[in-house]
Structure 1
């Protein structure tokens, strides 16, 4: 595979590109059963190309000229397409050829790629399914994009350009979806809401997004589930779980439904950690998207999800080695007790779409989200800390520095009901302008009880809480006369209701300045809300958020788009942001404000006679009324007082294209700096200050055996400032975790795909797709730490940071099939 080796050097590629006065048409040719068609001849002005075994084709055509492409096949009817494209423009055309009638089409627009000028990244669904990861899915791919950071492979959460996990919008079929509230560890998460088997389209914006999207500070993930056209069934199974999906269509084509069911068990991953456990998780859900075509103008759909996550965790022992070569150390822990968590969520959304006229559409959306969550644990940990000797077998602690115990208790329960009602409209005019508008009402009813405490005992002497002034404990030399208190103690009961009204209006315009194409997107949002409850009554608050985008495509030989976007973004507090570190709700927490600007350049070019894209983005955020927080694993705790300011600035690069013909790969690089100033004490790094990020997603195949595929997912992030105890003052002590390094690789043998021809007597004839894969997670067995456990040395009074390592190298096998 020498001619397929990936070049891992960042170069500005302008000198490598020739700017011929040509354009390109490419795509995948399908038949009526959505199977790729090979050996289709594509002819234009004497130039001939042919589709490969995957139905993929690409052909060069003259630019600034109306030409016709002719598609012919020995067993299918002829198809033609007339286009008029700009120099170096790439037009994607995915035709469906049939055997009953000839088809003709004409395209006069040079580029209709609205997502490109809006700064939206579109991710191919097929790529999402193929790329390996401990938590494979859409979020697994997002973490390879520039500006998107995560150092926890067990979690689907991600931070974008200095924001945290609560600052990302997620939509499925234009309906906002939510994640559980009480999750504190990535291994408790189970399943992401999004079922990849049902997905048709994935769009992502890392900042500077339009007014039509909601009120968050960082990013938007916009997912559309597919509308099936024929019966189909898919199945996947691995050592981590299984999933199945089915597409159904009625005879009159008015009804269609896509339904998926998933089951996951993380034991394979958790058992690779330092802690030996009896671990019995059950993560399962079922989703459906049902569509009913009432008429050509009126359509209704229902999106439903039921999810049940049961997490039973019984730690037994832990052995962690750390320290230096000169002074190796070891922590041995023996556990008693268990943790029992359960998250039951129910979600339903009904959407109706009505075309008042060909250029005017109205949508009415209603949704209901209900979650009941339980987090109960009593775990006693008795530890021994000391120096290690390598004399004899096995290695043993030869000098004990600390002996103690730690008891953690929690009885946390939450019940939340969130209801939404929304109306949206879209009006289009012939002069390439559109008006989008919407109005939404939300009611959040949340009942929450927090009871958790921690007691620490070191060599028989109770450790005082760190944030309470008590008499000095100098046992055993002097008797202790102060009260015995838990090291940490949080108790609160909250019954709250939040009512919100939000709306937006946005104007889109495409025009020209001279011979240059120009796009404008100008709009604004507002939101008004009030927090009330049995013991609290908040004041009414309202924010106004103007946003704008401007993009220009110069009339150059080079296919470039320049874009500037930004505005004033607000994030009205959700329930988690209203609750302070003591579990008490502050109803008057303000919306965090961010003045955001993004400058970007999007460049399409040819290299090695294949298409590539280079995207550069520079961004800056100035934040006020910041709600300071700390992160422990994936649990976020807010101070809830808006007493800080902050900023985030950075630079992102992404190069993607066909490093290997017929496959898409990319390389990402990001630089980020984000700091906060709490109560005018000066600027320090925020918990999400991940300075450097490098990621690569690579696909390949064996030239002589193209049915054997290779997929590589590589991520490198510099360390986060999460190495200090959660209770410590970051202005006095702030330490960074080690860099996060991870490589996941997958191999697949494809027995059947759409291009495979099987004999009628062959046992594979019933499959449309069938493949068997082998995956290696954490290929190089890097020791990545998500947090530190702090253990005291009773002799020296020192505290030692013992890293909590994530998963080690793990092997997995899986099978994929489609009927």
Structure 2
């Protein structure tokens, strides 16, 4: 296909490659009862035959909309016959356990509606998540390569989606909503994402226009399912960044099963690569378990629990940052005294019960408790010297300060404590009638918050205390004329809040399927309701209620080309969480309203063959109109809200993703996103929002080296244009609309498989106990790009100037890791 046709595909998403629409690939892996691959097994139907390879993998093409009998045979194992009916040209995965003592006969009618394509959901293989390199490896690391998902901070697992902020994303594990700590201010304090990658089975992600069955947020849904094991297994990883251990356990009667994971992480490699030299002793540890119990054929129970502790002890020593231009290079040197000690302890437990009342009716009961204890204590004195950088090579003062523009001192203090307890009780129902599915549910949530914030900042330059620029008594004639006004901290926040939030939410959703002549049509319509009230120590907020109708329509025409078209949208509300109620002064505004978004998403999925391998082009065009907007600022990862609803906003954009087997047997993708989001606060006009990430380009690539057996390569590339920001915390956004520099980052990983299912085991050796053993090398920030997350603002009395000194992220870093599975 020529270049011009490819460009046309990406613009209108309807022109496509020629494809074989009447055949679909059935692929899978054949194992024996000892979990060993079955080699040279015959897979056949109606005279068409293929064989499994040394890894037990096979691929065979079968007709669509035609019932066939697929025969699996081997000289050592009993025959297996599967009656198969596929109704889509998407690849179908069929894995089998071949047994020696019995013959298997079964029938599978796969009315493969491609649920993920119909709902506009991206599915991510668990194996891919575990392999792709990144400074914060895991699910979020892979999400950041998708169009519409943005993050300019490799130390953080937080992300923004289509113009929303970090607080606008829903995260579920086993249908249970997950919360994160409140007080974390920087990515290097996060340590670990909640989701333990070693325990994951399925991952689904929606970037907008999601259905009513999901909760009340404005931007996205990440839906994760943990594994339900069938046999004992263990996996371990050790690297310079920490380690993890995951164990699968199953009882003899198969009624009990569990997956348990322990993780430890240390970010010293990354922190020590930054401009600031520190004594850094972090400790990020968590333990998670998911226990399943099958009481009967109709009744099942599960428990999800986690305990995590993040200790962040940080003692900065010295910082030297070079910035400026070629004509005027600058250097900031800072000497520190003091330390920061932060603690974040979280406890989470959830009990889930599923009862199959009949073939058509099923209920789920979910209760959960989340408790977080957070402490932020720091006293850091910074004495700085700002000047011009000596650039004459060969001189003794090369790269030192040749001329001092300003000197000064900055003192930061905080004693912040938070205790939050969130309790949930929920019931869901599922009713199936012919081609109709009805889902409904109700949920009660109680949030109890006890919060104390006490932080201030004092800035002194050449012996003169600099007062906040928002005060009227500042003078411009210093130091010639002595200052006689009152002294005030440059920035200060003091508040104590005791609040309780009660919420009741409910939803009902109808799903149906029909035919429009020869085309297939799927409908989804639903509505959500939420009522909440906020009460404090001295007052009680008014009760508020919102209704959120949503709908979705998917069409699969009767074309030779395998395409699905979607339109979805509706009203999306986000009732305020505690952090959205707290204004810049730390006070809680109890009557803050829910932010509202009217969304529409137009999308298409096109499955085709290129180089005789499967590919998919996913395209989505979206628009959001927001009202009752609660404006905010972002500094690193801390969000501060105005706690008002005096703004309106919009977000519009285009997301494209091409994924498939660029290399045979591996999945990779290329994504491109365009976004424009602006807000109008108090009718002052539209300006860029803090998340206005105009262009996004991402590549996730997997490869292997035929000349070196077992050697694999993984590439993670992200390019984002610069965000608005870097201004002082007190600055008026309408007066400061500069942008940070573009974010460019490439992480690459190499893995050498030492032992796998195809390896010859060394008998009577400790190595024979391993199913897999691999050693890897990761290079983070391969091209050593200097990315900045914020600016440090330095002032001095003499020059009356204020300098923006970039806070650079991590440099090039090497990591070695060892992976093993039993």
Query: 2-side partners of 1:53 and 1:412: how far apart?
Result: 59
Q: Does 1:417 align with 2:418?
A: no
Aligned to 1:652: 655
Structure 2 residue matching 1:642: 3-state secondary structure:
coil
Shift of residue 16 of structure 1? 4.2
Residue aligning to 2:632: 629
Shift of 1:459: 1.4
Name the residue aligned to 2:557.
Answer: 554
Shift of 1:24: 2.1
Q: What does residue 427 of structure 1 align with?
A: 431
Q: In structure 2, the residue corresponding to 1:29 is in which secondary structure?
A: strand
Contact 1:87–1:557 (8 Å) recurs in 2: no
2: CA distance, partners of 1:550 / 1:526: 22
- Quick one: distance in 1 between partners of 2:560 and 2:326? 59
Q: CA RMSD in A?
A: 1.5
Where in structure 2 are there 5+ consecutive unaligned residues?
Answer: 1-5
SS at structure 1 position matched to 2:620: strand
The residue that corresponds to 2:644 in the other structure is 641
SS of equivalent residue, structure 1 residue 764: helix
- Partner SS for 1:269: helix
| TM-score, reference length from structure 1 | 0.97
Q: What SS does the aligned partner of 1:12 have?
A: helix
Counterparts of 1:82 and 1:43, CA distance in 2: 12
Residue 613 (structure 1) aligned with residue 629 (structure 2): no
Deviation by residue 1:695-744 (Cα, 9 ceiling, x = unmatched): 00000000122300000000000000012212100111121000000000
Partner of 1:753: 756
Cα distance in 2 between the residues matched to 1:406 and 1:686 = 29
Once residues 328 and 147 of structure 2 are traced to their aligned partners in structure 1, the CA distance between those partners, rounded to angstroms, is 39
Q: Which residue of 2 aligns with 1:486?
A: 489
TM-aligned CA distance change 1:568 to 1:770, over 3 Å: same
Distance 1:806 1:182 in 2: 21
> In structure 2, how many angstroms separate the alpha carbons of the residues matched to 1:424 and 1:34?
37
- The alpha carbon displacement at 1:97 in A equals 2.5
Structure 2 match to 1:505: 508
- How far is 1:458 from its partner? 1.2
- Counterpart of 1:397 in structure 2 is 401
Range with greater deviation from structure 2 (694-703 or 722-731): 722-731
Alpha-carbon distance between aligned partners in 2 of 1:53 and 1:193, rounded to the nearest angstrom: 37
Residue equivalent to 2:454: 451
CA pair 55-718 structure 1, distance change in 2 beyond 3 A: farther
Shift of 1:36: 4.3
Q: Between Structure 1 and Structure 2, how many residues are aligned?
A: 810
Tell me by how many angstroms 1:471 deviates: 4.1
Q: Which moved more, 1:285-294 or 1:89-98?
A: 89-98
**1:744, 1:437 → 2: CA distance?**
43
1:260-308 CA distance string (max 9 Å, x none): 1000000011100000000000000101111111111111111110001
Residue in structure 1 matched with residue 352 of structure 2 by the alignment: 351
Partner residue in 2 for 1:214: 215
Which residue does the alignment assign to 1:284?
A: 285
Aligned counterparts of 2:369 and 2:19: Cα–Cα separation in 1 = 54
Contact 2:149 2:159 in 1 (8 A): yes
Name the TM-score, length of structure 2 as normaliser. 0.97
Map 1:464-479 onto structure 2 (within 5 A).
Answer: 464-472=467-475, 474-479=477-482
Which position in structure 2 is the counterpart of 1:380? 381
| CA displacement, residues 522-559 of structure 1 (integer Å, 9 cap, x when unaligned) | 10000000000102321000000001111011111111
1:590 CA displacement = 0.2
User: 1:101-120 to 2 correspondence within 5 Å?
Assistant: 101-120=102-121
The correspondence for 2:731, drawn from 707, 711, 728, is 728
1:84-115, Cα deviation, whole Å (9 max, x unpaired): 33474432322333323222333334424212
2:793 pairs, out of 790, 794, 803, with 790
| Structure 2 residue matching 1:370: 3-state secondary structure | strand
Which residue, 670, 680, 705 being the options, matches 1:677?
680
Give the secondary structure class of the aligned counterpart of 2:167: helix
Distance 1:74 1:755 in 2: 19
**Correspondence list, 1:22-33, <5 A:** 22-33=23-34
Structure 1 position 714 matched with structure 2 position 717: yes
Superposed CA offset, 1:600-656 (max 9, x none)? 000111111011110000000000000000000000000011100000000000011
The question of whether the paired residues in 2 share the 8 Å contact of 1:25 and 1:91 is answered with yes
- In structure 1, distance between residues paired with 2:391 and 2:409: 26
Of the three residues 588, 597, 603, the one matched with 1:600 is 603
1:318-358, Cα deviation, whole Å (9 max, x unpaired): 00001111111100000000000000100000111111012
Which structure 1 segments of 5+ residues have no match?
1-8
Does structure 1 residue 545 correspond to structure 2 residue 542? no
Give the Cα–Cα distance (whole angstroms) in 2 for the partners of residues 53 and 739 of structure 1: 46
Q: Which residue of 1 aligns with 2:3?
A: none
Cα deviation 1:149-174 (Å, max 9, x = unaligned): 00000000000000000000001111
What does residue 9 of structure 2 align with?
12
Q: Deviations over 1:192-221 (max 9, x none)?
A: 111111111111110111111000000001
Q: What does residue 537 of structure 2 align with? A: 534
- Counterpart Cα distance in 1 of 2:320 and 2:21: 63
Contact 2:663 2:703 in 1 (8 A): yes
Residue 378 of structure 2: SS of its match in structure 1?
strand
Secondary structure at 2:273's aligned position in 1? coil
